Structure 1
Amino acid sequence: MQVVATAGHVDHGKSSLVRALAGAGPGGPPGRSLDLDVAWAALPSGERLALVDVPGHERFVPTMLAGVGPVPAVLLAVAADEGWMAQTEEHLAAIDGLGVRHGVLAVTRSDLADPTLALRQARERVAKSGLRGIEAVTVSAKTGDGLDALTAALDRLVARLPVPDPGAPVRLWIDDAGAGGAGTVVTGTLAAGTVAVGDELVLTPSGHRVRVHGAEVAREGVERVSGVARVSLEVRGVPRGRFSRGMALVSPGRWTHTASVDVRTRFGEASGRLARQMTLHIGSAAVPVRLRPLGPDTARLTLNTRLPLHLGDAALLRDPARRAVAGVTVLDVRPPTLVRRDAGAARARELASWPDRPDGARILRRHGVLRRAELAVMGCAEPPSAVEIDDEWIADPGRWDELRGRLSAELARHCAANPLAPGLSLEAARLRLGLPSRRLVVALARPPMRVQDGRVYGPVPP
């Protein structure tokens, strides 16, 4: 299964289109998820497509973003008799900011007006976005004209969409929750990974553990489901009423739960011109944030709650007052503190060379030494070049050599100042090197350095 969300101006025929598509297959009529409607359509290839129908009114942009946020593709609707509208433009900007690069353009209500002008106008606007080159069709949900062409276009779209890793960590953003059986039924779009009945997941941001007691896809019970899919899960372990839109169910120990991130911004102006108080939209979450500009296209975001994030996550910053949006990419989920006067400028210079999705080698180079598990929860693979210190710790080769040199220098200074007590305690050495564990000091103390009785000694004088 794949999942596609609608987008477009209010009353441009999105819901009618979804009903017409779902009516052609076994999915049946749409089901409501709060103010998101969901329907399922059968495609000519035999694939089943979940359609998330979002509201088009400007007052419901946060709801629209909750529906579009976790999906890989959109069905952008533009009415033939009205053409491109302000809300169409805002929806396109949001889609672009979220990094959605797949979709189909549908010029609707073609029975009410010649769709030629609206089609040309929409293609021109879309060509300036990440959706450039998407297939376009004209259609009338009322008469059925073009419906087969649209279904075929959606089938081709689904065939082109990347298949996510079924072994990836689960992060199910919740957009609806209600009573179900002895537990709670939560609904959302599973973007990647696999959920099976019996699995244990963590509810964020509370951190409570829940057990999956049932799963449904397209109203049919299943034992396991892999993304991308529209799913409903019955979970137990947390009292009813504790679930709400914007929370997420995640694989334990696979995500960084953070309230501070460094991001790259994609906007028509420098980060310094963005509002200092904005809303971060990711998945179905909408979180107030405080923005501190770093470089022209980088910023530090301080969130009012912790979110489960990975490096490379795409999100959206929105300023409701200006109706302005900026796409962002998460560069660091464990950013350094900025306490020195020039720390912000130094951090901006560092981030300027980083790609939108930093790899494990770059992150390890910044930290110097990390636990293997720390790289995993940041969403990074262990680099082949890493120094394997022991079963728990790894290090960047350059930083490890630098630390060994610093330890030798610290021992020499200590010995010169304290000739009658030449050894440096493991704890003192750890603090001077800024290391998180004494085990790392022991690993650094290779000959001619040595460890004896909890102290580190330099080379024995001749």
Structure 2
Amino acid sequence: MHVVATAGHVDHGKSTLVRAVTGMEPDRLDEERRRGLTIDLGFVWTREAGRTFAFVDVPGHQRFVPTMLAGVGPVAAALFVVAADEGWQDQSSEHLAALDAFGVRHGVLAVTKADRADPGPVLAEAADRIAATSLGRVPAVAVSGRTGAGLPELRAELVALGARLPEPDTHADVRLWIDRSFTVKGAGTVVTGTLGGGTVSVGDELVVGGRRCVVRGLQSLGTGHDTVRAVARVAVNLRGVEHRELARGDALLTPGAWRHTSEADVRLRGEKAESLHRELVAHLGAAAVPCRIRPLATDLVRLSFARELPLRAGDRGLLRDPGEHSVPAGFDVLDPRPPVLRRRGAARARAVELADPAAAYVRRHGAVDVTELHALGWEVPGTRVDRWAVAEDLPRRLATRVREHVADWHERHPLSAGLPAESLRSALDVPDPLLDAAVAAAGLRVRDGVVLDPARTPSLPESVESAVRVLERRFARDPFVAPEAHDLAKAGLGPKHLAAAERAGRLLRIADGVVLGPTVLDEAVRVLSGLPEPFTVSEARRALGTTRRVAVPLLERLDAVGRTRRAADGTRTLRRPHT
């Protein structure tokens, strides 16, 4: 489906023209028919050469320009209407300014009432005016809704227009701007709007105004559907929200996919920042919201909205001055989540940042979940670690902080194996993938929940060092005689001290309370190699000159490291390189 908005001065024949093209009545309100002008948005449709065209017939009267903008905002193409007998008028200029401000790039010019006056001069003037806007040079047709002249040519141009329109993204997150809300007896709340992207199905859960609701039914072009894909005019029957809770300019959203904002930094199209009044009305989609203007640079401003809107970078809107009945500028959203500006000169600095707002956002936060960037309308601007976009220098800064924390920990806890990973995680407060990357970048590693420095040479406090030296002299004389628990306690060597000495390669604990020298395994193999094989525990104990308290765990350690082999009867043989 192709959705086309009409545009043009009041009483220039917009409704008559779409009635002639579609055979349907766009003026749906009694008051509209009685007064002969469109007050609210009307919707009609037709099929031409296998293409469906839905027309949003907007009011042309100056008093109803906000309604007109609500219809044009979500639409990518326009049918611009100028009457041959009246020519270009004030509302013609305002409507064209609105299309230009919204950045509409596709359209057709129809000069109506060609049976009343020569359409040539009006067609030429209107075509030149339109060519100077975002629409560019558009096809132009002179028509008469009364006689039907020119309608075949208009239909042909509409078909060609449909071929030029971009393909919609039917997988996009849904943001359906509501342009009408009402109740239907037996059905409940119904809203209508133009689905510009994404897909909506019966049973889908959507969000509007912070409230969750469920799609009970769908209708497009007067027909019920289980699923409607963009682009489409659609009526959505909702469960879970009351009609009176909704208004034009609200939006049905994919849950969790959008962020609401009361401020946005934007780039202007049209008037410069200094020329704008400070209080204007921002139009985005079907929404019209009063806003305050804060200049940042010649073509950059901050908009502060009277209420929050679901915006993304790349959204297009316009600023309207209701007092002067003008559209001074359009705008493109650059950053829907801008930082607070407090310091003197902050506006100028912010203008520089807006050259790459996504990178500035990531730099400001350090690390940002990529789903958050998507919700704000940005791609990942630089480095990505797992599902996190990270500031360019963050890995280096984190690695430095990791090294500092580990060094500080060792200074304060000299007997510790290393800094507990949980303590580091709490201190840095970064996602686990970033922490892991920072630890690796710092040349460290995590083992058994502790951050270790492989390059660190362990050192012992002087008191522990002295006690260990005493044991080393003892082991030099009797390598297989382990000190008793009371001997260790007397030397001031508790479990933490012994663990630190073992990490330093000075001692080897072969069992709880059994401590020997670090080379005892090699020394034991040397002694046992002189025994006939297989040998028993008792034979090994006597050869080693030690007690069963030491011999049993020592042999078990030799078994565990593959230096001996234990048979089913408890005897052992040495494992040699070729066995």
TM-score (norm 2): 0.71
- Aligned equivalents of 2:422, 2:115: Cα separation in 1: 79
Q: Cα gap change, 1:437/1:238 in structure 2, threshold over 3 Å: closer, same or farther?
A: same
| 2:179 partner SS | strand
Q: Cα gap change, 1:308/1:55 in structure 2, threshold over 3 Å: closer, same or farther?
A: same
Residue number in structure 1 paired with 2:509: none
Do structure 1's residue 128 and structure 2's residue 132 form an aligned pair?
yes
Higher strand proportion (structure 1 or 2): 1
The one-letter code sitting in structure 1 at the alignment partner of 2:349 is A
Q: Following superposition of structure 1 onto structure 2, how do residues 359-378 of structure 1 map, counting pairs within 5 Å?
A: 364=362, 367-378=365-376
- Aligned equivalents of 1:109, 1:215: Cα separation in 2: 38
Do structure 1's residue 245 and structure 2's residue 231 form an aligned pair?
no
The one-letter code sitting in structure 2 at the alignment partner of 1:146 is G
Candidates 385, 404, 408, aligned match of 1:388: 385
Residue number in structure 2 paired with 1:118: 122
Residue number in structure 1 paired with 2:313: 311
- Aligned equivalents of 1:262, 1:424: Cα separation in 2: 44
| Counterpart contact for 1:291–1:301, Cα < 8 Å | yes
Residue number in structure 2 paired with 1:18: 18
More RCO (CA 8 Å, sep 6+): 1
| 1:18 partner SS | helix
- Aligned equivalents of 2:320, 2:265: Cα separation in 1: 17
Candidates 223, 226, 232, aligned match of 2:235: 232
- Aligned equivalents of 1:424, 1:288: Cα separation in 2: 54
- Aligned equivalents of 2:404, 2:140: Cα separation in 1: 68
| Counterpart contact for 1:191–1:227, Cα < 8 Å | yes
1:21 deviation in Å?
0.8
| Counterpart contact for 1:426–1:441, Cα < 8 Å | no
Do structure 1's residue 342 and structure 2's residue 342 form an aligned pair?
no
Any unmatched runs of 5+ in structure 2?
30-38, 458-579
Higher helix proportion (structure 1 or 2): 2
| Counterpart contact for 1:191–1:228, Cα < 8 Å | yes
Q: Deviations over 1:306-335 (max 9, x none)?
A: 111111000111121233321111111221
Residue number in structure 2 paired with 1:193: 198
Do structure 1's residue 407 and structure 2's residue 401 form an aligned pair?
yes
1:234 deviation in Å?
0.5
The one-letter code sitting in structure 2 at the alignment partner of 1:81 is D
Structure ID, larger Rg: 2
Q: Following superposition of structure 1 onto structure 2, how do residues 419-438 of structure 1 map, counting pairs within 5 Å?
A: 419-420=411-412
Residue number in structure 1 paired with 2:207: 202
| 1:241 partner SS | helix
1:369 deviation in Å?
1.2
Do structure 1's residue 182 and structure 2's residue 187 form an aligned pair?
yes
- Aligned equivalents of 2:342, 2:289: Cα separation in 1: 25
Comparing 65-74 with 366-375, greater Cα deviation is found at: 366-375
| Counterpart contact for 2:402–2:424, Cα < 8 Å | no
Q: Deviations over 1:390-417 (max 9, x none)?
A: xx53424x233343355257549x849x
Q: Cα gap change, 1:273/1:411 in structure 2, threshold over 3 Å: closer, same or farther?
A: farther
Q: Cα gap change, 1:427/1:85 in structure 2, threshold over 3 Å: closer, same or farther?
A: farther
| Counterpart contact for 1:31–1:37, Cα < 8 Å | yes
The one-letter code sitting in structure 2 at the alignment partner of 1:174 is I
Identity of aligned residues (%): 50
Comparing 1-10 with 448-457, greater Cα deviation is found at: 448-457
- Aligned equivalents of 1:377, 1:108: Cα separation in 2: 44
Comparing 303-312 with 64-73, greater Cα deviation is found at: 303-312
- Aligned equivalents of 1:261, 1:254: Cα separation in 2: 18
1:273 deviation in Å?
2.4
The one-letter code sitting in structure 1 at the alignment partner of 2:301 is A
Residue number in structure 2 paired with 1:139: 143
1:59 deviation in Å?
1.1
Do structure 1's residue 4 and structure 2's residue 1 form an aligned pair?
no
